[in-house]
Structure 1
Amino acid sequence: MIESGKDKKRGGAAAPAKAFDPNGAIGRKLKSFYDVIETEPVPDRLLDLLEKLDEAERRAKSCP
């Protein structure tokens, strides 16, 4: 593997990852995206699928 000059100076060790700052610019932007998604309604197609799965579970539990 080819190492960059900086890696050779540190003995080949990778730099430690910085901790994610949830209050930083990236954290604020991600939160705004998730807030928008969170308020969107669940699609009818997904609700139908979940109902079918619930029905299948109920039938499976009622059979010995």
Structure 2
Amino acid sequence: MIEPSKEKKRVGRDAPHKAAFDPNGPIGRKLKSFYDVIETEPVPDRILDLLGKLDEAEEKAKRGS
């Protein structure tokens, strides 16, 4: 059983937890800056080749059905 005094301490720890998921907080801003850098990088040729093969396989499957 949790003592009431210990329960109050737990509730106090929830505030930083909620702040960590704030998209405008420091963690959210840092993640956005990482995403912005990655977003501007070109797609590797290997990935484009794989996507092309997937498109071809999907077209063949549609024609076969």
RMSD: 2.3
Distance 2:61 2:18 in 1: 49
- Residue 18 of structure 1 aligns with which residue? 18
Structure 1 residue identity aligned to 2:50 = L
Query: Over residues 5-63 of structure 1, what are the superposed CA-to-partner deviations in whole Å (9 max), with x where a residue is unaligned?
Result: xx64218xx53342422222111111100000000011100000010010011111111
| Structure 1 unaligned spans of 5+ | 1-6
- 2:33 match: secondary structure: helix
Superposition pairs for residues 14-53 of structure 1, below 5 Å?
14-15=10-11, 16=14, 17-19=17-19, 20-53=21-54
Gaps of 5+ in 2: none
Question: What is the total number of aligned residue pairs between the two structures?
Answer: 57
Q: In 2, Cα distance between the equivalents of 1:36 and 1:22? A: 17
User: Structure 1 vs Structure 2: percent identity of aligned residues?
Assistant: 70
Q: Which amino acid aligns with 2:36?
A: D
Code of the residue aligned with 1:31 in structure 2: it is K
User: Could you say what secondary structure the match of 1:21 adopts?
Assistant: coil
